[in-house]
Amino acid sequence: MNNPSEPNPEQGRSDPKQGRPDPGLSVITSERRQLTNLAYRLLGSLADAEDVVQETYARWYAMSPQQQAAIDSPGAWLTTVASRICLDQLGSARARRERYVGKWIPEPLPDRTEWISGRPGAATVDPADRVTLDESVHMAFLVVLDAMTPAERVAFILHDVFRYPFAEVAEIVGRTPAACRQLASSARRRLRASQPDLASQPDAVSAARRADIVRAFKLAWEAKDIDALIGLLAPDATATGDGGGIVTAALHPVEGAKQVARFFADRAGAAATAVTLLERTVNGQPGLVTQLDGVTVSVMAFDITDDRISHIWAVLNPDKLRFWTVG
């Protein structure tokens, strides 16, 4: 399988050979982005990822200066701690998902032009300072990751995405290098089984073609043209909504091109005149945003195979939309 992303110089591991970083402010500024990128891919939630990073640094500063000085590579220490916190959270997340109302979808990320801070009154934040948008954050990829066991997910992300050798992965996960190699191999098999096109040819459908298809879907939806919608959907297409029990959303995925087309056409007919559909980048790929009176109420990501829409993920849970623009 091709690696889902090329290594980013700012995303790489701390290299002890390049000199030990200062265990103070320089560690925060040089490693925070790395930790956030890692935690988001592991947890599928930027809010949770930021909590993990905060907890990781809290543990660092809870140590005495002598304890900090004894650590050869603060960056590696921070990555290890963050990964273990994520591993613990992934284990407990399964129980939380059983109580979640409806289907759980990873938190969608906007493009840098759509990015805002979730804190009222805070200044605009460049997403490049938080999460690098590449194939490993595409919604289809994250959905497959969510079906993996926690150990599979951590081993796969650390090795295949962030290029950690299995010897280092083993230290983080608490298993042997051979066991971690098996975990990553099992994760790849899951990826190929669930998303064969994603696993082998992540760019099989060009970005421009994807944008054209999503635009055609938008126009057909606005026109309530069921036949046009059916023509854009794969026969076995599915649409999944995530309202989290906070707002109304279908509790189960809608399956089949005709059913999905009718589902969206019906909602277009019931929508208020204040509803606006916008073409936006969602997790690095073409998507749609629905705004009501200027407020973002849903974000839709699409998976496209053989020029047909095979999956639609609609996030309506307002807790997952805090980084999308208003107005």
CB 35 within 8 A of CB 60: no
Each residue's pLDDT expressed in tens, for the chain with a length of 327 residues:
444 433 343 344 444 434 444 445 665 667 888 999 999 999 999 989 999 999 999 999 899 989 988 988 888 999 999 999 999 999 887 767 778 888 999 999 998 666 554 433 344 444 445 688 788 899 999 999 998 999 999 999 999 999 999 999 999 999 999 999 999 999 999 888 876 555 444 455 788 999 999 999 999 999 999 999 999 999 999 999 999 999 988 889 999 999 999 999 988 755 556 788 999 999 999 999 999 888 899 999 999 998 999 999 999 999 999 888 654
Distance between CA atoms of 71 and 20, rounded to whole angstroms?
Answer: 10
What's the maximum distance between 2 C-alpha atoms anywhere in the chain?
69
Q: Please state, in angstroms and rounded to a whole number, the distance separating the CA atoms of residues 184 and 166.
A: 9
What tokens does 116 get?
A: 């805002």
The pLDDT, as a whole number, for residue 266 is 87
Q: How far apart are CA 179 and CA 177, in angstroms?
A: 5
Domains detected in the chain? 16-200 (no CATH), 207-320 (3.10.450.50)
Nearest CA to 276 out of 326, 312, 229 is that of 326
The pTM of the full predicted model, rounded to 2 decimals, is 0.83
Distance CA(124)–CA(128), nearest Å, equals: 12
pLDDT value for 180: 97
The pLDDT value recorded for residue 113 is 63
What are the tokens at 151?
Answer: 């150990």
Residues 6+ apart with CB under 8 A from 20: 72, 73, 74
